[in-house]
A and B are shown apart, each in its own frame.
Chain A
Amino acid sequence: MFWLQQIFNGITQGSIYALMAIGYSIILGIIGLVTFVHGEVIMIGAFAGFFMVTFLKANFFLAVLAGFAASWLLGIIIERVCYRPFRSGPREIALIATIGLSILLRSLSQVTFGTEQKLMPDLLNSHFIPLGQIRITNIQLLIIFTVFILALLLHQFFYKTKTGIALRAVSMNKQAAALLGVHVNRTILLGNALGCALGGVSGVLLGIYYNSVHPVMGASVAMKAFTATVFGGIGSIPGAALGGILLGIFENLGVAIFSSGYRDIISFSILILILLIRPQGILGRKELER
């Protein structure tokens, strides 16, 4: 029963990772570059939710919405500052720009928000729901539910709407998409904003799940988003979701065996193992360049 409980906790945490990884995959596909600023995007989203809850006494959905909106705006800024000016230059320059922006954002938020951990108020008066022999909190259920709904909406968006199809077209081949009349610049802007906004939502969920937010949380969560993306297979959005959930489960099982101080170390070891054994991930489509 202990293990079943751990697996359930892992699924909860994994669904947050899945959301991050989906956002990361969208950005990866649409920009064609990894981003180093994603951790800071998640952190800003979490802080937007935090301020919404503490100062405006907002409820869960408003907090999630605030995280979504703040990170959406940040995504637009990132695209304008880091990607658009350098799209025709060598790719390393955009990469370095994201590193610069990430340092700037993190240190600025350390200065403005303070370096200590902020406690997220308990806004759902969390209680246990007994279910067989494992205990589930209502927060866990709400997190899984939110991620599930978002994933469904995203699937509809990507396959049923014109904008979603344009997004997929641009991430496959920018030039062909432009020839077919897709407004490439606007689509890239939208895709980056959407990926960032999903990161922001996952930041808020993370803040609610752990009851805390702090300005340097970005580095380790960005690492996990990346691990989940690699785990599932780069270039595949369902893979990213699956990778996130599996990462959450493995991580919680590892924590149950060792100790919680080793949480990040466990997920890092998972990354190294994947890179050694199966670098294309579980659902990776194409062979990686070796």
Chain B
Amino acid sequence: MASFKQKLVYFLSAIALLMFPWFIQNDYWLRVAIMIGLYIILASSLNLINGYTGQFNIGHAGFYCIGAYTAAILATRYHFSFWLLLPLSGIVAALFSILIGLATLRLKGIYFSMTTLGFSEIIRLTVLNWASLTRGPMGIPGIPLPELFGFHLASNRHFYYIVLALTGIMLFLSKRVISSRIGRAWIAIREDEDAARAMGVETFRYKLYNLIFGTFWAGVAGCFYAFFTSFISADSFTLDEGFSILAMVLVGGQGNLIGPVIGAASLTILPEIFRNMAQLRLVIFGAAILIMIYLRPQGLAGSSILSQKYHYPKIQRHSPPKHQGQQEVSP
């Protein structure tokens, strides 16, 4: 139970976030705030997978892409409404994740990571090549504005409230799921998969649930992105995009809910401050990951990176190898 002090903090920050658009008159910074919200959803959903079951998903952008294209195609051709498409894009992204999960989640180690990496690239290539469905490299323009009771939501202020609500719902649901039976099973898998199985956790099934839940939110974020920018193309969903989301999770700290929020906010604001070095954005991200690994491997907000049981040794320059026995290949 949250103490009174914590409740006060939550209440005050909620008020501050709700009042934010009235203090910021500048449309540019409002847009940055919306992007932060979008990346918080993406980074938190990736954190659910990477930080809570210890899988290592690298190609989150692929699921994001599927969500965005589902929304864009259904909205422009069949005039689905935004509110219906939000869950629908999430479900489509989750269906693809089941395919990936069935092939790789039974195997330990790196297979899952490499497959998601390939998957993200393959989705982008399919989008580029399947021109009859996705218009290929031209992208899909003219995605209609969302409507609410016959009222067009057009301004950035409206989108700010939509993304705020989505982020709030997402974080609230994540918190509920994580403290439920399912969430405890996830954490048990992260800490020690064999022990979890010995205690009766069906690891494969719970890992699959985890993947479905995480990728669902990536799809929802994709849908929001499609309606927000009203134009999408494959260029928005490159591997670099997936790596940026990963960098946000790693820099913020995985395995807790607040870490990716901090990571997403700081790594979205950072390139905006250094606007004149826009092409160095990913250089900064890569360097940020390396610096974090050296200085604070658990991330800015993290108390642990993957597991409580590890100690973080000081960097040793010439340490003898400490891994014993047969080296297995999986990480």
Contact = CB atoms under 8 A, between A and B. Distances in A.
The 10 closest A-B pairs by CB, nearest first: A104-B286, A100-B289, A103-B286, A107-B282, A32-B327, A100-B290, A289-B108, A261-B129, A85-B315, A174-B321
B299 to A, nearest CB: 10
A271 interface: yes
B58 A289 contact: no
B26 interface: no
Contacts of A99: 58, 243, 246, 289
A96 B286 contact: no
Interface residues of A, number: 64
B3 interface: no
B56 interface: yes
A256 to B, nearest CB: 16
B118 A101 contact: no
Contact of A85 (B285, B310, B317, B324): B317
A223 B117 CA distance: 8
Interface string B297-324: 1000000011100101101111111111
Contact of B327 (A89, A173, A276): A173
B324 A175 contact: yes
Interface residues of B, number: 66
Interface of B: 56, 58, 102-104, 106-111, 113-115, 117-119, 121-122, 125-126, 128-129, 239-240, 243, 246-247, 250, 279-283, 285-290, 293-294, 297, 305-307, 310, 312-313, 315-331
Contacts of A188: 321
Contacts of A76: none
A104 B240 CA distance: 11
Given A90-B307, A264-B122, A100 B329 contact: no
A184 B321 contact: yes
A272 interface: yes
A30 to B, nearest CB: 9
B289 A265 contact: no
A230 interface: yes
